[in-house]
A and B are shown apart, each in its own frame.
Chain A
């Protein structure tokens, strides 16, 4: 056990916790104006989309002319099934399976 590494892990954990807790406890409790309600209501879709899109197709890959077909197929599969079923498990699993199958196909054929 490398104790220095453990100390680093604790420091990382503390930093993570502070980012999680700060606005959770500081956000105003009372009624807030409609504008800020609309703003807060739009954050989840915006933040989550912003997180996942560059994961699927990174700007670096695009600049190199690479199209990540497995990731795009996997995402499209998950999206279509999610819209149809409003579920989570089946779209996620199907999206992952599509990604893995196409990845293997492409690596075998190359």
Chain B
């Protein structure tokens, strides 16, 4: 990586650091819950190192405890993470000149938090492939370190209640979306997505609400709206 890319990588890592620390709070929760679900510290850490997806990791824990078949957990991972397909559309569009290998590398680090950070959050003004890689590495490092810490705490502190800390994830996303809403169109998109997601979740369960709202509401918004006018 040349010096300018290294500088952008470092900038991405440092800009993202506050969010990475927040991610660590629910990484600790995951580590603690993982050992309480019957995983060893090593298995908990290996899960975070290889799966690297909080939602599917949390949701797999009851299945592991029950001794469910492997294919059910893999299918769960697919269903829960189908929303990443939408993320890839936005991320890929940001880097029209990036080569295939670079895109494949940065794709590993796409998670909800850094996707939000570079699309609606503070990172959107500076994002480059190297910058985004910095956010991905930050996520990976802190997710895994906190899993390890949480696993140790889960064993060492017995029945201490760690529930509630995972609310941090919801608070982070509310903050990111809330600070990004710029005009009436954004508010309408958010309101429409909230309503549709709630209805689809009630009707279909699973993670279909994210795909439905993530595709249909933007389609409606693009159909109904003209070009965005500059903010006065």
Chain A residues with a Cβ under 8 A of chain B:
1-2, 4-13, 15-17, 19-27, 29-30, 34-36, 38-60, 62-63, 70-71, 74-75, 78-79, 81-83, 85-89, 91-93, 95-96, 99-100, 103
In contact, B88 and A9 (Cβ under 8 angstroms): no
Task: Name which residue of chain B comes closest to A33, CB basis.
Answer: B222
Which one, B6-14, B150-158, B195-203, is touching chain A? Answer: B195-203
In contact, B193 and A20 (Cβ under 8 angstroms): no
Q: Which residues of the partner chain A approach B176 to less than 8 Å between Cβ atoms?
A: 48, 82, 88
Q: How many residues of B contact A (CB 8 A)?
A: 96
Besides the contacts A27-B88, A44-B119, what 16 more A-B pairs have beta carbons closer than 8 Å? A12-B73, A17-B108, A21-B88, A24-B107, A25-B88, A25-B104, A27-B93, A40-B90, A42-B185, A42-B189, A46-B221, A49-B190, A50-B194, A74-B170, A88-B19, A88-B179
- When A and B form their complex, what is the total count of cross-chain residue pairs whose Cβ atoms lie within 8 Å? 279
Q: Which residues of the partner chain B approach A30 to less than 8 Å between Cβ atoms?
A: 96
In contact, A78 and B178 (Cβ under 8 angstroms): yes
CA distance A13 to B228 in the complex (A): 38
In contact, A8 and B108 (Cβ under 8 angstroms): no
In contact, B51 and A9 (Cβ under 8 angstroms): yes
In contact, A40 and B70 (Cβ under 8 angstroms): no
- Selected from A38, A52, A60, A89, the residue in CB contact (under 8 A) with B221 is A38
In contact, B18 and A16 (Cβ under 8 angstroms): no
CA distance A58 to B199 in the complex (A): 10
In contact, A79 and B178 (Cβ under 8 angstroms): yes
Given A53-B194, A55-B170, A88-B172, do A39 and B88 touch, yes or no (CB 8 Å)? no
